[in-house]
Chains A and B, each alone.
Chain A
């Protein structure tokens, strides 16, 4: 029997038991919807994290004082704090893979209104390269700023565009209340800044909690002056950012920096932690590989349940059509014709379910996007990517589960089947 004829016959056969077959279709619809809702957002979230890490273009390593576990909650303070002079020391080593280096010190915070806080960071001019910051207007901080009487500040995108309502310009003076970060005492300082540059928007820097869009960046010496710290070299840094010329050199530079800091008496994973974009990607991978294995179990259960419906319905169908199978065999149908006919029937049911389920699933995801923020990362590309995995799995499972009843149908002897009442 030609496959096209078998397919047509199967198509006609499934229209016979509409109610029963619609249960099978429903099971597949639900499977695709659940698959889409569960797997889609997980893939979406991962893809969002990975792309935001990559988008950040952060070919850099970050030296964090103390022991910090990326992606975990553990943090222990160092026994010996890393200082500006250490950053200077690394800089003066002139390691060829290092294209830029800067310590960063958060001297304080600024509150512009409800939920609109900013921070003031002191660093070197290399922050522009390290953070791949782009100037919307004006210039970035430079070494000459360190001795300037005025405090020259570069404003992050959110600061000038949102918190200050976009009504600021370069060379304009800005008076702000800086909440100094000094031990346990909270001290507010009225600071007059001179805006020298406005930054473009950019993604948050991975591996840190720093969002450059919320930053007011000043030269390190000026920032420390505000905090009444005159011994710049001995000042404790919050981080040291080191930009590396190539993603593949991140490990080499990390090892080199570890070596230097250990030579200077710091202990790795006690006094400092080194985090790179690679680590961030590894953490995402680690979290999602665990999550994925859990989701895969749930998905397997969903597939098994939906495929069981095929198995049950096909077993009933074969029993019900015993005589019909006998007739087809008497007319000359081979065992393989019978097998293909029943496999086609289950395939058609699963295809209908998958088709309706896919469309419904997209609609459900669109609706859920309104209520759940994390689902917003599920783009159409991710949905299609998810379907490209789950749909073949569903179809394959339906065929595998239909094999047993279909095989049983082929074993029916025509002479016996024709006597069946």
Chain B
């Protein structure tokens, strides 16, 4: 069953007098418990694609259907609620709130969702899952890059989202740590999570179920891992 479907999605930006076509007629379906990697050169539209799936941006043309719901029709408030309850984000630069501890950074995401019960227990459990049991009360500045990204992953999981969207999550990490983070995503996939990963790293992408190649805003190729 498809978690999210993009139907004829295009995204255009007006820069001065020219129109930049960031995405052009994208048709894509991401199935439940699928691990999809998006590969492509800089400026190819990977992040824009992720923003469309993540309801952070609305397409100029086309529809984004999330479990049967056309999210392009939702207003800003509804879209925010939808993001809080259904989507987990992981960013390249971790984007943790610097004045909060690891635990608080995980908990904060639940403030916007309707999953407000046993937040602390769940946050501790998730930090335990990502291997940060000893780092609950450390602030981001006291954590390594890899540890910060683990906190970000735990944060993405706190609302038990339908899909986890990771935008170059290993881009700021050394290769060893990048491997560890990738293993963590694979672990999540085994736990039944649906993951979309945007990356430059081809070797990491090969670990996913499907690789989508994107160039100039268009899907140019797709590789499905043979089981």
Contacts and interface: CB of A to CB of B under 8 A. Distances in A.
Interface of A: 1-2, 5, 9, 12-13, 15-16, 323-324, 326-337, 413-415, 418-419
B206 interface: no
Contacts of B89: 327, 330-331
Nearest to A329: B80
A324 B112 contact: no
A328 B113 CA distance: 12
Interface in B89-129: 89, 91, 93, 95, 97-100, 108-109, 111-113
B177 interface: no
Interface string B117-155: 000000000000000000000000000000000000001
B120 to A, nearest CB: 13
Contacts, number: 71
30 contacts: A1-B111, A1-B112, A9-B100, A9-B108, A15-B99, A16-B98, A323-B93, A323-B95, A324-B97, A327-B95, A327-B97, A328-B108, A330-B56, A330-B83, A331-B89, A331-B108, A331-B112, A332-B80, A332-B83, A332-B85, A332-B113, A332-B159, A333-B112, A335-B77, A336-B77, A414-B57, A415-B51, A415-B56, A418-B95, A419-B47
Contact of B112 (A12, A13, A16, A337): A337
Contacts of A331: 83-84, 89, 108-109, 112, 155
A345 to B, nearest CB: 12
A418 B80 contact: no
Given A1-B111, A5-B111, A419-B47, A334 B81 contact: yes
A16 B155 CA distance: 22
Given A324-B95, A415-B57, A334 B112 contact: yes
Interface residues of B, number: 28
Given A1-B112, A334-B112, 7 more contacts: A323-B95, A324-B95, A327-B97, A330-B56, A331-B84, A332-B113, A414-B56
Contacts of B57: 413-415
B76 A13 contact: no
A177 B77 CA distance: 91
Interface string B62-92: 0000000000000011001101110001010
A107 to B, nearest CB: 81
A99 B151 CA distance: 87
B80 A333 contact: yes
B54 interface: yes
Given A13-B99, A16-B99, A332-B84, A2 B56 contact: no
